[in-house]
Amino acid sequence: MTDEFFQFVVAESFDDAAVARLKKLGNVVHLEHCDSATLAGAVSDCDALLVRSAARVTGDVLASAKRLRVIGRGGAGLDNIDLVAARRHGVTVVYTPAASTDAVADLTVGLMLSLIRGVCSGDAAVRAGRFSQARQACVGRELSECSIGIVGLGRIGRAVARRCRHGFDCDIFFNDIVKPDGLDFSATFLEKQELYSASDIVTLHVPLTTSTHHLIDDGALKQFKPGAFLVNTARGEVVKASALIEALQSGYLAGAALDVFEHEPILADDPILMASRTLLTPHIGARTIGGLNRMNLVVDDVVRVLRGERPRFAAPG
Ligand code: NAD
């Protein structure tokens, strides 16, 4: 065990047990805000930085860190950390890749069911005194009648596929840039355009990268089945919002459920708020008791790195 006294910067919320663990090893500074300027100032003299998904650890932030050794990202996506710059500065990035898999998969299936049964529009109609009209107008679909197109068959994509295949007997189509092995459910690979035109519900589970930025744009949406649904619990930037809004307003898409947005928190004048047939949630995919508890375990890997041990979950690459 090392006798070093470390400086930790905690930029977003971690539970008391995780913070207590850090306090045994050094001094902990909590940030009220995690904008770039605040982060850059705070990391200049720390050994470890802990973030979730809101803090953007850019090359500029990393350039101001004189002795940073490790960044702990509680959660799955790594798009908020400049991994190339981290490598260049000799900073190890650790994360909790599987912490939110089940939480996000559950939400995804819940959003699918809500969309195809008109749960949110039904709720609004009942509250607005339109019970009978809304009941009469509503004819939903059963999930087992829907083919599901999964873009990105990684941890979350597979968990969604298992739920839809084993729980609802759906036909599953998938697209991934890596050939998956060891699938414990039946699923058919399709090229993206084929997947879009074959699926009643397309659900996105790719990371945000240069190749997935605006993956779902006007061209992609034109390939969708008329009357299809889109679910995005991946990252807002994977969908070109203006194209989605047009596809919804024209009635070409039957609906979309979005848990993630290009700007978070969503801006008050964001046009998606006015778009019809949308179901919007405030980036809650990972926010379950189990999911949050597992994210806090990133502290274990932060401590491993500081002790010179090999972390369990280092960022790939
Ligand atoms: P993962 O790395 O296990 O799986 C991602 C899959 O996408 C991989 O199989 C990869 O090969 C594939 N992929 C990458 N680029 C692709 C492309 N261009 N086309 C097709 N497939 C491609 O990641 P995961 O744990 O399944 O998480 C997926 C994403 O979900 C995360 O990166 C994160 O952005 C998002 N997420 C959101 C929430 C939330 O709260 N809504 C929570 C956790 C994760």
Residue 172 C-alpha from the chain's centroid: 21
Q: Within 13 Å and on the Cβ side, how many CA atoms surround 180?
A: 22
Per-residue confidence (pLDDT) for residue 2, from 0 to 100: 56
CA-CA distance, 239 to 262, in Å (whole number)?
A: 9
At residue 71, φ and ψ (nearest 5 deg) are -115, 125
154 touches ligand 1 (CB under 6 Å): yes
Q: How many angstroms separate the CA atoms of 167 and 140, rounded?
A: 19
Packed helices 119-127 and 101-117: angle between N→C axes, nearest 10 degrees: 60
How many whole angstroms separate alpha carbon 306 and alpha carbon 4? 9
Least Cα distance to 65 among 94, 35, 88 occurs for 88
Residues of the chain with pLDDT under 50: none
Tokens found for residue 123: 């709720």
Q: Are strands 6-10 and 278-280 parallel, antiparallel or unpaired?
A: unpaired
* CA-nearest residue, atom 14 of ligand 1: 206
Q: Provide the 3-class DSSP secondary structure of residue 259.
A: coil
Question: Ligand 1 test: best mutation among 78, 104, 280, most atoms within 8 Å of CB?
Answer: 104
pLDDT of amino acid 317: 78
Residue 99 CB: number of other CB atoms within 10 A?
A: 24
* DSSP state, residue 81: B
Q: Is the CB of 96 under 6 A from ligand 1?
A: no
Active site residues per annotation:
235, 264, 283
- Domains of the chain (ranges; CATH) run 6-99+289-306 (3.40.50.720), 101-280 (3.40.50.720)
pLDDT, one tens digit per residue, over 58-113 is 999 999 999 999 999 999 999 999 999 999 999 999 999 999 999 999 999 999 99
Binning the chain into helix, strand and coil, the percentages to the nearest 5 are 40, 15, 45
Q: Compute the radius of gyration of the chain from its Cα atoms.
A: 21
Tokens linked to 264: 């978070």
Q: Mutate which of 81, 107, 109, 176 to test ligand 1's pocket (most atoms within 8 Å of Cβ)?
A: 176
Q: Is 180 in the pocket of ligand 1 (CB under 6 A)?
A: no
Q: Which atom of ligand 1 is nearest to the CA of 285?
A: 40
Indicate if ligand 1 lies below 6 Å from the C-beta of 155. Answer: yes
